A = this chain, B = another copy of it.
Amino acid sequence: MINLNLQKKLDSENGMMNLDIKMTIEKGSFTTLYGDSGAGKTSVLRMFAGLMQPEKGSILIDDAILFSSEKNINLKSQKRNIGFLFQDHALFPNMTVRENLLYALDKGQNEKIVNELIALIELKELQNKKPENLSGGQKQRVALARTLVRQPKILLLDEPFSALDFKMRLKLQDYVLKIHKQYKLTTILVSHSISEIVKMADQIFILENGSIKENGKPIDIFSNKKVSGKFQFTGEVINIKKEGFLNIITVLIEKNFVKIIAEDSDLVDISIGDFVNVASKAFNPIIQKIR
């Protein structure tokens, strides 16, 4: 059981902000932090990792005290055995991609893992390049791989997939999930993507202005608000084409386009760029697995 109890004054967009977080995390669970930019997600990870010192509070893993303001204990980052993927990569500019990963190896650890990870992030051809020559997404992949080299028991990932294209993102999400399960890691992920969270996490904490506003299972949290029995979506009107009395409206619902036929009367008020609800009361959808 991991217990975080963190208090610290931070500057924020609304003046002084009192970060005050109490979190309990099962070992082996996959937890997400979600919240607005500036809510305090990165700060929580940095305190857990020992890079930022809370003013008050404690960090416990089972009986081990990593930090306690009362007992004046503050374990060094190096001793916490936590893997941290930084939001801004923090690759070592003096080392090639491969050297960045090799550096992360623990003493006596097999180099095989490095080769595996390089293959995974598809940077075999670039493994001998210095980070400054990599694209944004390539840097992010290297940073992820470097964090995974040591297979630390606790993994903190600060928006690890934000600069990646869809395919690569799916692939790396799957890989992180795989090793999370395989090695029984405790993982905390910061993400702005609901689908990512629902896909990956057992538990979500929603941060708002330095406090936890809600927490629970992602599916419950997001479902409560958004799921209904009806087949109902929110989307944006992309196009309206007139054909006789009818109008064909194209609505973008996330990545999917839906064409809806509407009569002129339905159209009152709706124009391109509007957000709309698309719903159907009587709907019995077919479901098919895709390859």
Contact of A36 among B14, B167, B280 (CB under 8 A): B167
Interface status of A137 (Cβ within 8 A of chain B): yes
Question: Knowing A13-B122, A167-B36, A168-B37 touch, does A227 contact B285 (C-beta < 8 A)?
Answer: no
Contact A288 B279 (CB under 8 A): yes
Please give the number of chain A residues whose Cβ is less than 8 angstroms from any Cβ of chain B in the complex: 91
| Number of identical protomers | 2
CB A241 to nearest CB in B, in angstroms, measures 11
Nearest CB on B from A280, distance (A)? 5
A281: nearest chain-B partner, CB-CB:
B286
Q: A138-B13, A252-B199, A258-B227 are in contact. Are A286 and B280 (CB under 8 A)?
A: yes
How many Å lie between the Cα of A252 and that of B14 in the bound state?
A: 34
User: Could you tell me which residues of chain A, from 187 to 211, have a CB within 8 Å of some CB in chain B?
Assistant: 192, 194-195, 198-199
Q: How far is the CA of A220 from the CA of B274 in the complex (A)?
A: 19
Shortest distance in angstroms between A142's beta carbon and chain B's nearest beta carbon? 11
* B239 and A219 form a contact (CB under 8 A): yes
Q: In chain B, what residue has the closest Cβ to A129?
A: B11
Select one of B42, B228, B286 contacting A279, CB under 8 A: B286
Docked-complex contact A287 and B227, CB < 8 angstroms: no
Per the bound structure, the CA–CA distance linking A223 and B205 in Å amounts to 36
**Does chain B have a CB within 8 A of A159?**
yes
